[in-house]
Amino acid sequence: MSNPYSWLNKSLDTIHRANWYRSVKAIASKPGAVIELEGKPVINFASNDYLGLASDQRLIDAAVAATQAYGTGSTGSRLLSGHKELHRELEQAIAALKQTEDALVFSSGYLANLGTISALVGQQDLIVGDRYNHSSLKKGAILSGAAAINYLHNDLVDLQDKLINHRALYRRCLIATDSVFSMDGDLCLLPELLAIAEEFACMLLVDEAHATGVMGSTGAGCVEHYNCTGKTLIQVGTLSKALGSLGGYVAGSAELIDFLRNRAATWIYTTALSPADTAAALTGIEIVQQEPHRKEQLWHNINYLKQRLSHLELLPSQSPILCLQLDTPKTALNLAQRLIGAGIFAPAIRPPTVPTSRIRLSLMATHEQHHLEMLIENLDRYWSYGNQKNIKS
């Protein structure tokens, strides 16, 4: 008899040969601009903790106090025994930040997308999504059973073509996009997408995971950045990036949220967010609103680094995510390896996560000038040693 698991080994072999293999690396310190990675301090350009809140003492204290008061686990789903006033306070804080009627918190951003998309559309419906959308939007589309079509990245003509050809064949239609594209750092074209959604009678879902706390004058996200606050749309996001905690959310009309409480399976059939995560996220939102200097420092760092790296092949970015393009997975891995040797953690991102290999840098408000100088120096050194490709001509 053949071994029914033998394909696993073959499959892993293929992954290795393509240089697609990944493994985890343990971080032995608190989050921050400098972390301890495999026993060694490195400057961290790989974190989503844009404002440095994940190690903020006030979030830690809030999590500890909530744990003391309510325990470690929520013990049940929100609709059964898991709901606490703290969850509602967090939802109201999210709705206030986003200036929406209501919000709903999920156990993660990934689950928020799976649950929301699969509740909003089904087999008679259509989803049209940006080709570069986050995995959670794509998997949500598959889970929903709707017909799913991708349009070329940020290509409004292609989106309109797809809608002209397909929209009339379906009942409901959802356009879905990241607002800050997580592996590229550019933004969706929100005002145009809103206009197209209206023209073709589509719902619009934007994933603000990398934008909340980072974009817009109060940190509300790209919707605010584009002056689209108050427009009818579905905003999804995470509590796990700039807000420094864990969890996801959906913000929108009272009707939408009421509907999701009754139909989003990843909210109904899972345990409520833990007291610690809930309280930390609530404190994170308060700090975003009360301490705008954090966001200002982040943007100062972004603008400075972009200007100093302007001679390299950077992907277009309007966010803390800056990507250096490289030809092959191998060159990207080599550069990442060298940087680690120099005490800089800037990971290589390769297919199949993205279509082309790159070093992905993400900036934080807590990066200091000398951290940025170290990075610049090491990149310049790499490119001056005959690695002339990927320098702009």
Ligand X SMILES: *Cc1c(COP(=O)(O)O)cnc(C)c1O
- The residue whose Cβ lies closest to ligand X is 109
Near ligand X by CB under 6 A: residue from 248, 252, 284, 320 = 248
Query: Which range, of 103-111, 187-195, 222-230, 372-380, touches ligand X by CB under 6 A?
Result: 103-111
Query: Which range, of 8-16, 205-213, 349-357, 365-373, touches ligand X by CB under 6 A?
Result: 205-213
Query: Which range, of 104-112, 223-231, 345-353, 367-375, touches ligand X by CB under 6 A?
Result: 104-112
Phi, then psi, of 299 in degrees rounded to 5 = -70, -30
CA atoms within 13 A on the CB side of 229: 16
Residue with smaller CB distance to ligand X, 90 or 379 = 90
109 binds ligand X (CB under 6 A): yes
Residue with smaller CB distance to ligand X, 246 or 379 = 246
Three-state secondary structure along the chain? CCCCCHHHHHHHHHHHHCCCCCCCCCECCCCCCEEEECCEEEEECCCCCCCCHHHCHHHHHHHHHHHHHHCCCCCCEHHHHHCCHHHHHHHHHHHHHHCCCEEEEECCHHHHHHHHHHHHCCCCCEEEEECCCCHHHHHHHHHHCCEEEEECCCCHHHHHHHHHHHHHHCCCEEEEEECECCCCCCECCHHHHHHHHHHCCCEEEEECCCCCCCCCCCCCCHHHHCCCCCCCCEEEEECCCCCCCCCEEEEECHHHHHHHHHHCHHHHCCECCCHHHHHHHHHHHHHHHHCHHHHHHHHHHHHHHHHHCCCECECCCCCCEEEEECCCHHHHHHHHHHHHHCCEECCEECCCCCCCCEEEEECCCCCCHHHHHHHHHHHHHHHHCCCCCCECC
Burial (CB count within 10 angstroms: exposed 0-12, middle 13-18, buried 19+), residue 356: middle
Residue type (1 letter), 170: Y
Closest contact distance (angstroms) between CB of 258 and ligand X is: 23
Cβ contacts of 267 within 8 Å, gap of 6 or more: 78, 104, 106, 111, 115, 260, 261
Per-residue interface string for the shown chain with ligand X, residues 121-160, x marking contact by CB under 6 A: -------------x-x------------------------
207 binds ligand X (CB under 6 A): yes
238 binds ligand X (CB under 6 A): yes
Residue with smaller CB distance to ligand X, 249 or 382 = 249
Per-residue interface string for the shown chain with ligand X, residues 268-297, x marking contact by CB under 6 A: ------------------------------
Residue with smaller CB distance to ligand X, 127 or 379 = 127
108 binds ligand X (CB under 6 A): yes
Near ligand X by CB under 6 A: residue from 87, 162, 210, 350 = 210
Residue with smaller CB distance to ligand X, 118 or 378 = 118
240 binds ligand X (CB under 6 A): yes
Helices 292-308 and 369-384: crossing angle in degrees, nearest 10, is 20
Among candidates 109, 106, 114, 117, which has minimal Cα distance to 271? 106
Size of the site for ligand X (CB under 6 A): 14
186 binds ligand X (CB under 6 A): no
Residue with smaller CB distance to ligand X, 39 or 352 = 352
Near ligand X by CB under 6 A: residue from 56, 178, 184, 224 = 178
Closest contact distance (angstroms) between CB of 180 and ligand X is: 8
Query: Which range, of 56-64, 204-212, 323-331, 334-342, touches ligand X by CB under 6 A?
Result: 204-212
Closest contact distance (angstroms) between CB of 208 and ligand X is: 8
Closest contact distance (angstroms) between CB of 112 and ligand X is: 7
Near ligand X by CB under 6 A: residue from 110, 151, 200, 382 = 110
Closest contact distance (angstroms) between CB of 199 and ligand X is: 25
209 binds ligand X (CB under 6 A): yes
Number of Cβ within a 10 Å radius of residue 1? 3
Residue with smaller CB distance to ligand X, 273 or 359 = 273
Query: Which range, of 108-116, 196-204, 284-292, 346-354, touches ligand X by CB under 6 A?
Result: 108-116
| Contacts to ligand X by CB under 6 A | 108-110, 113, 134, 136, 178, 182, 207, 209-210, 238, 240, 248
